[in-house]
Amino acid sequence: MYYFTFDDARTVAEYTHGIRLPMAPFLGVVAVEPLGDDEVSAIVSGPYGGNLVLRDLGVGSHLFLPVQKPGGRIWIGDVHALQGDGVVDQTAIETAAENLEIRYDLHKNVLLSGPLGETQDAWIVIGFAASLDDALVSCLRDLIRWLATAAQITRPEAYALASMAVSFRVTQYANQTGSAYTSIPPKAVHAVIPKTAFPAEVRDRIGQWLRP
């Protein structure tokens, strides 16, 4: 275990050998309550959200989740001060949040199949599976379905665009089979779709689809 020291402004953490790490805080877990009555581990993720550990979801970002039960029953947690894509060593710089502000909006008739992130520069689709290969395929298929619907382009056009302009990144690789956890989080891959690839009218069309 390693304890980090933050500067007074809490913007930089000191690591070993003089390494200094600029902070980029975000919530690791954001979820609505999943379908069914079975208990679900907080480290597991899926269509309802959960342990997404997606570092792009920092200040000013948006996360869209398909409501699974009446009332949504949203839960959050697992604050990270800094994390890289992949979470290869199982954890990030774990911390606590003060003065956390989150806005919740309900958008009806938005047919999402899973979590969708949005930043100022991109839309982000996430795919989950037991292996990275299958997670990438899941992510790609969800991307094609969503982009074809929201942007009103054909699925072959969305597929080709994914190869030309979309970046697929490892969200979570951490292998926790040897840990004390009773559940194993799925592998996850996220696709970063740059907004600059689209003309203003298509960006507006996607925005109106997400916020009818």
pLDDT tens, 107-138? 999 999 999 999 999 999 999 999 999 999 99
Backbone angles phi, psi at 167, to 5 degrees: -100, 125
User: Tokens 């999402």 label which residue?
Assistant: 112
Q: What's the CATH code of the domain at 104?
A: 3.10.28.20
Task: Band the pLDDT of 147: cuts 50, 70, 90.
Answer: very high
Task: Band the pLDDT of 182: cuts 50, 70, 90.
Answer: low
> What pTM did the predictor assign?
0.92
pLDDT attached to residue 3: 86
Domain that holds residue 148: 5-210
Q: Which two tokens stand for residue 137?
A: 């395929």
Average pLDDT over residues 6-28: 92
82-113 exposure pattern, b = at least 16 Cβ within 10 A, e = fewer: bbebbbeeeebbebeeeeeeeeeeeeeeeebe
Number of domains in the chain: 1
CA angle 69, 57, 120 (to 5 degrees): 110
